[in-house]
Chains A and B, each alone.
Chain A
Amino acid sequence: MTTHPSFDIEPQDLLVVLRHPPHGTQWLREGLDVALVAAAFGQRVGLLFQGDGIFALLKDQQAGALGQKGTHSQIAMLEMYDIEALWVSEAALAERGLAREDLMLPTTSLNAEAVAKLLRCHPHTLIF
């Protein structure tokens, strides 16, 4: 895993921060809904996956076991909506024993300093 402390962040119109896993609560699903709708309205949207939100991107997810739809179908739609600015917290990955290769989409990992910069440089941020 590479770190980009001086990574040049290209700010989007809206940053959606996702901090919850696919199952257990409705946070992730409703956060992704906002991202998709904003993109459909012509906004450039970036996503930051933090904490357990990292699990949203894990490969080989299934739905149904808990009676919840899951969110992988929404994740699969991101590219179609031109949501390609996907940032992951390097610490969140490491704490969970994960690497970017475990994720279903290409992402950029950010250290704590870069996450702070990411939040500062966006005009609008919604946190879920």
Chain B
Amino acid sequence: MLNYALLVHAAPYSHQAALSALRFAETVVAGGHRLKTVFFYHDGVHNASALMAPPQDEVHLADGWKRLHDEHGAELLVCVAAGLRRGLLDAGEANRHGSASHSVEPPFELTGVGQLVDAMLTNDRLITFAP
């Protein structure tokens, strides 16, 4: 059994890499390995949007990640610096910035790049999915 962390740079529905990351993550846990951390960075932060509404006959990426958290305990970390400038704010940040609404909800967590470094150092593998 290996501990995995994923780094997702790709925006949802813009690039295959976002869907490939989810498919890889599902395969990791199906194979008996542990998916400990998914870190969303660059345009990948959009995968955490609570407001995404894809057509019903397409994979719902945010729900797919939530399922991996609920059923397998994967932590879903969103880079706060990359997220804020792209409009990905949780309730706390929205309040702090005077925004009328927020777009990130648990189990997605806004966090710093330090958590990516930590995930890199503490897992057996860190796999990057980039456009």
The residue of chain B having its C-beta at the shortest distance from the C-beta of A124 within the complex is B120
Are B113 and A127 in touch, CB under 8 angstroms?
no
Task: Assess whether B128 is interfacial by the CB under 8 Å rule.
Answer: yes
Q: With A and B bound together, what is the CA distance between A82 and B97 in angstroms?
A: 34
Q: Which of B113, B120, B128, B130 contacts A33 (CB 8 A)?
A: B113
Task: Assess whether B35 is interfacial by the CB under 8 Å rule.
Answer: no
User: What residues of chain A lie closer than 8 Å to B120, measured between beta carbons?
Assistant: 14, 124, 126
Are A41 and B114 in touch, CB under 8 angstroms?
yes
Are B112 and A30 in touch, CB under 8 angstroms?
no
28 contacts between A and B (CB under 8 A): A14-B117, A14-B120, A26-B42, A26-B82, A27-B42, A30-B41, A30-B42, A30-B82, A33-B81, A33-B113, A34-B113, A34-B117, A37-B112, A37-B113, A37-B116, A38-B113, A38-B117, A40-B114, A41-B114, A41-B117, A41-B118, A43-B117, A43-B121, A124-B121, A124-B126, A126-B120, A126-B128, A127-B130
Besides A34-B41, A37-B112, 12 more A-B contacts (Cβ < 8 Å) are A27-B42, A30-B41, A33-B113, A34-B113, A37-B113, A37-B116, A41-B114, A41-B118, A43-B117, A124-B120, A124-B126, A127-B128
User: A residues bordering B, Cβ < 8 Å?
Assistant: 14, 26-27, 30, 33-34, 37-38, 40-41, 43, 124, 126-127
B101 CB to nearest A CB, Å: 24
User: What residues of chain B lie closer than 8 Å to A14, measured between beta carbons?
Assistant: 117, 120
User: What residues of chain B lie closer than 8 Å to A26, measured between beta carbons?
Assistant: 42, 82
A1 CB to nearest B CB, Å: 31
User: B residues bordering A, Cβ < 8 Å?
Assistant: 7, 41-42, 81-82, 112-114, 116-118, 120-121, 126, 128, 130
User: What residues of chain A lie closer than 8 Å to B128, measured between beta carbons?
Assistant: 126-127
Q: With A and B bound together, what is the CA distance between A33 and B41 in angstroms?
A: 11
B87 CB to nearest A CB, Å: 14
A77 CB to nearest B CB, Å: 15
Q: With A and B bound together, what is the CA distance between A124 and B7 in angstroms?
A: 13
The residue of chain A having its C-beta at the shortest distance from the C-beta of B112 within the complex is A37
B67 CB to nearest A CB, Å: 27
User: What residues of chain B lie closer than 8 Å to A27, measured between beta carbons?
Assistant: 42
Q: With A and B bound together, what is the CA distance between A43 and B128 in angstroms?
A: 19
User: What residues of chain B lie closer than 8 Å to A38, measured between beta carbons?
Assistant: 113, 117
B78 CB to nearest A CB, Å: 13
B3 CB to nearest A CB, Å: 14
